[in-house]
Structure 1
Amino acid sequence: METNLRKNFLNALQGKTVDRVPALSVTQTGTVELMDLTGASWPEAHSDPEKMAALALAGHEIAGLEAVRYPYCLTVLAEAMGCEIRMGTKGIQPSVLSHPFSKSPEGLEVPEDLLERGRIPALLEATEILRARTGGEAGKEEVPLIAGMEGPSTVFSHIAGINDYLVWFMKKPDYVARFMEVCTDICIEYANALFEQGADVLCVPDGGLVATDLMPPKSLDLLKPSFTRLCEETRGPVILHICGDVERSLHSLSECGFDAISIEEKVSIKAAKAAIEDRARLIGNIAPSSTLLFGTPDDVKAEAKQCLSDGVDILAPGCGIAPMTPLANMRAIVEARDEWYEEKE
């Protein structure tokens, strides 16, 4: 088995042959049990670089996942763009309270001091800390560092508010075009700063509303140019994580240039593989709630092994790991992968 976890993961993202499918999470990994074991808890770990790094490392060092993934919410860019944020509690993630561009995109532009706003400096510092601690120095294994960041559609919905976001997609395509242009610029600048500080891969949870009946049929056509530009102008590998039953959209999404697409359990792995073909790798899709949160380690293993049998390229939860997920269930992800290979021999 490839002992360099970073190399193994990057090879899998590039579609190269690997000895074993990576087993990790491209979505949030902070749990209450890991917080208690490390002393790095929410909400402090959302803004304190050292605590953020300590909790992220625990996902690998304690839970055994083959990557380090941070941060733990999708509100960093919303805050930088002027949204008021409720920082949550030990078991509840931050949420957006206000929407400074709820009337129109008038005045919307990329701030000159974007990288100095809100928690962005803390995220960049945490990236530097984590790169130093996952880079293979002092005899330690080299572990991939996955930075999470809300995508342009999510930033748009936060700064405008979800109601106006939905209405404008149906009635004001000119507004949508302006919001998506600026929000994509914001994402690109922040993403490249994360890569400059040492992140290996960017995971962008975004566009989940295209899987719902709330969005008009052509909504993906309005998002696709921004997704394509994000992939073209971001200086590193990009994973799209998308919630919901997006099977009908996967072919189109896979044309945007993402290195991989992460799906939730509502989507059939076999159908998803057929839709994206060789344009992107497929990540997923152990159910985070019914299996990881409420199931047993044996339940996790059974579902994980089915994902592997169905042909997933990288084994991972189908969405963010819930804060109350048992540590034993997190550890079962890698255990299942190892058992699956042993059973094949």
Structure 2
Amino acid sequence: MKGVIMDMLRGGETDRAVCVSLSGCQGMTPVEIQEKTGVFWPKAHQDPDLMTDLVMKSMELTGFENVRVPFDACVEPEALGAEVKWGDEKTDPYITKYPYTENPLELEIPDDITTLGRIPVIIECISQLDKELSDVVIGSTVMGPITLVGELIGTENLLRKTLTDPKLIRDLVERVKPVTLELISLYSDAGSDVVQVIEPSCSNDMIPPNTYKDIAHPIHKEIAEKTDTPTILHICGQIDEIIPEIAGAGYNAITIHSGINPIKTKKQTKNNLKILGDISPDSQANATPKKVEQEVKKAIQRGIDFIEPYDGVVSTAKLKNLQTMTKTTKQTQ
């Protein structure tokens, strides 16, 4: 199946949809899988052996046709000085103090990031997965430059200054852009087959469409152009008004929510863009398996290429619902 998925990401077609968890700000290791494995957050966020064990067990129990690490979205900010609270088995790590809120112009990126924070943990985990899984797609996650700036100067600060001081934001984005590019390279070298770039701060809920087009879109295009590994662009939330830019940024795949027409989206780009989506977090955690089955079939009928838990697997997701996702996808042509 690895060959099929990679061929699809490079523009190929298949006779059925595929169920994966390659994208989202959430990981793919909810509480129920932690309990069955005996490996729990937050230790699994910090130890490559535990991380490897947990994500492999997730693949085995759910039937997802891939693995993906890390499980949270704090790796880069923590490595660059943000203070993080580690949460528990239900709660993702989250930032408690931004390092450059008061002095954004002091933001500087070290020449060597390979030893910072948990970056070595993620690299070692990917390397272990590469040795263990010869025919399974290994996915990884990096934070995009816009969101990373927000996680270093404060999200509210970012949103305000995109309007009042866009020159500063452009400057800061250029400073952190090498982090995104270098991590894509490091993770790919370690064995990651596909890398998703997460940019939750780029949705229409966060910044105006014109700001995305002026500041973020050129950076996203540059990242795609400079990356040989297949990439996914994930912007959670409302993206309706920037779909043409997202679809045309040069990524192999993008994620969409249920309100967006995947067929129309594909027509807005000349490449063979693939669409990932869109089983909601609420359905993962609260729906009956029958309802999940209906959602999966609807997503396939809509033209979704990769059936996915939208924005990743929530920590409260029911295992039986995730299993229903993978089983239904395999049975539906």
Q: TM-score band (shorter)?
A: over 0.9
Counterpart mapping for 1:1-345 below 5 A: 5-27=1-23, 28-135=27-134, 142-212=135-205, 214-220=206-212, 221-276=214-269, 278=271, 280-289=273-282, 291-341=283-333
Query: Over residues 254-303 of structure 1, what are the superposed CA-to-partner deviations in whole Å (9 max), with x where a residue is unaligned?
Result: 222111001223434344334446452111111122x1111011111110
How many Å apart are 1:18 and its aligned residue? 1.6
How many Å apart are 1:182 and its aligned residue? 1.6
**Relative to structure 2, which stretch is displaced further, 105-114 or 36-45?**
105-114
2:13 maps to a residue whose letter is: T
Query: Over residues 167-199 of structure 1, what are the superposed CA-to-partner deviations in whole Å (9 max), with x where a residue is unaligned?
Result: 110011111111111221111111100000000
Distance 1:215 1:162 in 2: 11
Distance 1:217 1:69 in 2: 30
Query: Over residues 27-64 of structure 1, what are the superposed CA-to-partner deviations in whole Å (9 max), with x where a residue is unaligned?
Result: 32111111111122100010100111111112211111
**Relative to structure 2, which stretch is displaced further, 10-19 or 46-55?**
10-19
Runs of at least 5 residues in structure 2 that lack an aligned partner in the other structure: none
How many Å apart are 1:77 and its aligned residue? 0.3
Query: Over residues 284-327 of structure 1, what are the superposed CA-to-partner deviations in whole Å (9 max), with x where a residue is unaligned?
Result: 111122x1111011111110111111111111111121111111
**Relative to structure 2, which stretch is displaced further, 214-223 or 242-251?**
214-223
**Alignment TM-score, normalising by the size of structure 2:** 0.94
- RMSD (CA atoms): 1.5
Q: Percent identity?
A: 26
Secondary structure of the residue aligned to 1:97 is strand
Q: Detail structure 1 runs of 4+ shifted over 6 Å in the superposition.
A: none
Paired residues of 1:105 and 1:178 also in contact (CA < 8 A): no
1:66 maps to a residue whose letter is: E
Paired residues of 2:247 and 2:265 also in contact (CA < 8 A): no
Cα–Cα, structure 1 residues 205 and 177, in superposed 2: closer, same or farther, change >3 Å?
Answer: same
**Relative to structure 2, which stretch is displaced further, 177-186 or 263-272?**
263-272
Paired residues of 1:241 and 1:262 also in contact (CA < 8 A): yes
Distance 2:103 2:167 in 1: 10
**Alignment TM-score, normalising by the size of structure 1:** 0.91
Distance 2:210 2:302 in 1: 30
**Relative to structure 2, which stretch is displaced further, 216-225 or 296-305?**
216-225
**Relative to structure 2, which stretch is displaced further, 231-240 or 85-94?**
231-240
How many Å apart are 1:216 and its aligned residue? 3.1
Secondary structure of the residue aligned to 1:62 is helix
Paired residues of 1:24 and 1:315 also in contact (CA < 8 A): yes
How many Å apart are 1:26 and its aligned residue? 1.5
Secondary structure of the residue aligned to 1:115 is coil
How many Å apart are 1:100 and its aligned residue? 1.4
How many Å apart are 1:217 and its aligned residue? 3.7
Distance 1:207 1:29 in 2: 18
Secondary structure of the residue aligned to 1:68 is strand
Paired residues of 2:17 and 2:330 also in contact (CA < 8 A): no
Query: Over residues 100-140 of structure 1, what are the superposed CA-to-partner deviations in whole Å (9 max), with x where a residue is unaligned?
Result: 121343232321231100000101000101111111xxxxx
Secondary structure of the residue aligned to 2:62 is coil
Paired residues of 2:141 and 2:196 also in contact (CA < 8 A): yes
Secondary structure of the residue aligned to 1:211 is coil
Secondary structure of the residue aligned to 1:124 is helix
